[in-house]
């Protein structure tokens, strides 16, 4: 029995049950109800989820289309958004059904990895983002190795795309949270930790900074609250890039802004509490939307917004101070660290005034907590 007759039988069967008709084959030459549009692919996805085996041919049609389009994209990576819209829809479709077809899922993931590594910087921003989202979806379904994914993400951080960079760092942080809270996989946490520590030593400053932000966020959220992480962050205080130095210095000083960003210009900061606060604010706005609008209720909503903002600020301040004390107490050799930091102050290297003030403040903080003897530090302050 031919392919078209088989699909026709499936369509009749769905028609009898009152459900939607199944798609015809793309290579049959007939006009298909399921064209390359987001709405129809979403409908097809729901049908296939109910019976993956019966509709495998329909999945393979989209998979073959994906393979052929990826070959073309290898040759012409600079295609615009309109030319690649059908590919983005297909990627979203395949990533949602990958767990039902493990063999094709592996080939699908390998194709995405290869193109991102080879042509990542040359791809259209939307195509690149859709590929990354598909890989995150596969990771959440345990269809690929998380370490391979994180290595790829760290490589993509160097691409000049602020939106992508924020997404990559948020995805890494979300994966750490998932491994720590849901899976309790200590071995995997250790592997990710080793990867981040190696990336901090990377010669590319943007990659090193991304790994530094991940380590700071993990320490603050108690994923890696240990002496090893604190000392790796401490080593970044002597990095050749001033921005990385400032980030570590502010972390140890317990600054409210311990990611080291200067307003909106920083494109790689991780806001750990954004999702939780967004949900809370959403609940407040939803409850207000479904009731009669009065002045009293409007005032209550405004008051609730201010309370949410205030609680968020207090939570961040308290956590920063706690991290500051624990991190300083976790230093392997506080005397050596202070002498080295003070030596950098006394050197003839021309640092910005802000950096010098932060170094002086951190030296004073460590000397006070560990009760160190650094006599030359006090004479330096008198000058």
pLDDT digits (tens, 9 = 90+) for 23-75: 444 444 334 444 444 447 888 888 888 888 888 888 998 899 999 989 888 88
Which residue would you say has higher pLDDT here, 135 or 374?
135
Q: Tell me if 305 is assigned to some domain.
A: yes
How far is residue 237's CA from residue 250's CA, in Å, rounded to a whole number?
A: 10
Look at residues 52, 161, 49 and name the one whose alpha carbon lies nearest to residue 103.
52
Calculate the alpha carbon distances from 359 to 200, 216, 377 in Å: 20, 18, 12
Choose the weakest-confidence range: 1-5, 172-176, 335-339.
Answer: 1-5
Residue labelled with tokens 């729901």: 46
Mark which of 332, 353, 369 sits at the end of a domain.
Answer: 332
- 150, with CB counted inside 10 A (0-12, 13-18, 19+), is buried
Q: Select from 97, 99, 127, 96 the least CA-distant residue to 112.
A: 127
Query: Tell me, what's the pLDDT at 121?
Result: 86
Whether 301 has a pLDDT exceeding 70, the answer reads: yes
Instruction: Return the higher-pLDDT residue of 318 and 93.
Output: 93
- Are the C-beta atoms of 98 and 141 separated by less than 8 Å? yes
Q: Are residues 308 and 346 in the same domain?
A: no
Show the domain range for 293: 278-332
Kindly report the average pLDDT of the chain as a whole number: 79
Residues 283 and 324 in one domain: yes
Q: Does some domain include residue 288?
A: yes
pLDDT, tens only, 187-238? 899 999 999 999 999 999 999 999 999 999 999 888 988 999 999 999 999 9
Domain annotation covers residue 143: no
- pLDDT reading at 287 higher than 70: no
Give the pLDDT confidence score for residue 254 in this predicted structure: 82
More confident residue, 341 or 348: 341
Distance in angstroms between the alpha carbons of the first and the last residue of the chain: 93
User: What is the number of structural domains in the chain?
Assistant: 2
Average the pLDDT over each of 69-73, 294-298, 330-334 and give the range with the smallest value. Answer: 294-298
Q: Out of 154-158, 284-288, 345-349, which region has the weakest mean confidence (pLDDT)? A: 284-288
Non-local (6+) Cβ contacts of 60 within 8 A are 104
Q: Is residue 23 part of a domain?
A: no
Q: List Cα–Cα distances, 296 to 20, 58, 290, 302, 308, in angstroms.
A: 49, 56, 15, 10, 19
**Is 255 contained in some domain?**
no
Question: What pLDDT does residue 4 have?
Answer: 45
pLDDT of amino acid 109: 93
CB-count burial class (<10 Å; 0-12, 13-18, 19+) for 36: middle
The reply to whether 288 and 321 lie within a common domain is: yes
Q: Is residue 181 part of a domain?
A: no
The pLDDT of residue 373: 82
Render pLDDT for 1-32 as a digit per residue (tens, 0 to 9).
444 444 444 444 444 444 444 444 444 433 44
Residue 108 has pLDDT above 90, yes or no: yes
Q: Can you read off the two tokens belonging to residue 81?
A: 């958004």
Give the confidence band of 260 by pLDDT, cuts at 50, 70, 90. very low
377 and 344 belong to one structural domain: yes
- Residue 154 belongs to some domain of the structure: no
Per-residue confidence at 268, pLDDT binned at 50, 70, 90? Answer: very low
pTM for the whole structure: 0.74
What is the CA angle 17-20-109, rounded to 5? 125
Residue 186's pLDDT is: 86
The fraction of the chain above a pLDDT of 70, given in percent, is 75
pLDDT at 315 over 80: no
Same domain, 313 and 338: no
328 & 363 share domain: no
45-51 long-range contacts (CB < 8 A, ≥24 apart) are 45/93, 45/96, 45/97, 47/14, 47/19, 47/20, 47/22, 48/97, 48/100, 49/97, 49/100
Asked whether residue 296 is domain-assigned, the answer is yes
């Amino acid at each position: 029995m031919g392919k078209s007759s088989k699909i026709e039988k499936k369509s009749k069967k769905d028609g009898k049950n009152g459900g939607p008709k199944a798609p015809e084959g793309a290579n049959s030459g007939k006009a298909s109800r399921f064209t390359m549009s987001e709405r129809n692919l979403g409908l097809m996805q729901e049908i296939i989820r109910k019976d993956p085996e019966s509709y495998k041919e329909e999945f393979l049609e989209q998979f073959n289309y994906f393979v052929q389009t990826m070959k073309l994209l290898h040759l012409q990576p600079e295609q615009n958004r309109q030319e690649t819209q059908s590919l983005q829809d297909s990627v979203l479709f395949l990533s949602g059904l990958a767990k039902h077809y493990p063999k094709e899922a592996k080939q699908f993931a390998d194709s995405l990895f290869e193109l991102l590594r080879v042509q990542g910087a040359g791809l259209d921003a939307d195509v690149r983002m859709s590929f990354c989202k598909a890989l995150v979806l596969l990771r959440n379904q345990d269809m690929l190795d998380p370490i391979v994914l994180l290595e790829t993400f760290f490589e993509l951080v160097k691409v000049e795309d602020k939106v992508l960079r924020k997404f990559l760092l948020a995805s890494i942080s979300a994966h750490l949270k998932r491994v720590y809270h849901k899976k309790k996989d200590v071995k995997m946490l250790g592997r990710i930790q080793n990867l981040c520590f190696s990336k901090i030593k990377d010669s590319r400053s943007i990659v090193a900074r991304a790994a530094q932000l991940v380590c700071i966020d993990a320490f603050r959220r108690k994923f890696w609250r240990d002496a090893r992480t604190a000392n790796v962050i401490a080593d970044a205080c002597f990095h050749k890039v001033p921005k990385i130095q400032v980030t570590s210095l502010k972390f140890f000083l317990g600054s409210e802004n311990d990611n080291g960003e200067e307003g909106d210009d920083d494109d790689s900061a991780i806001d750990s509490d954004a999702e939780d606060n967004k949900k809370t604010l959403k609940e407040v706005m939803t409850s207000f939307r479904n009731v009669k609008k009065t002045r009293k209720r409007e005032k209550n909503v405004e008051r609730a917004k201010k309370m949410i903002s205030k609680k968020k600020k207090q939570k961040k301040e308290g956590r920063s101070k706690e991290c500051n004390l624990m991190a300083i107490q976790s230093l392997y050799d506080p005397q050596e660290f202070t002498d080295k930091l003070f030596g950098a102050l006394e050197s003839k290297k021309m640092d910005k005034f802000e950096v010098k003030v932060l170094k002086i403040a951190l030296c004073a903080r460590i000397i006070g907590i560990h009760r160190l003897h650094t006599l030359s530090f006090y004479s330096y302050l008198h000058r």
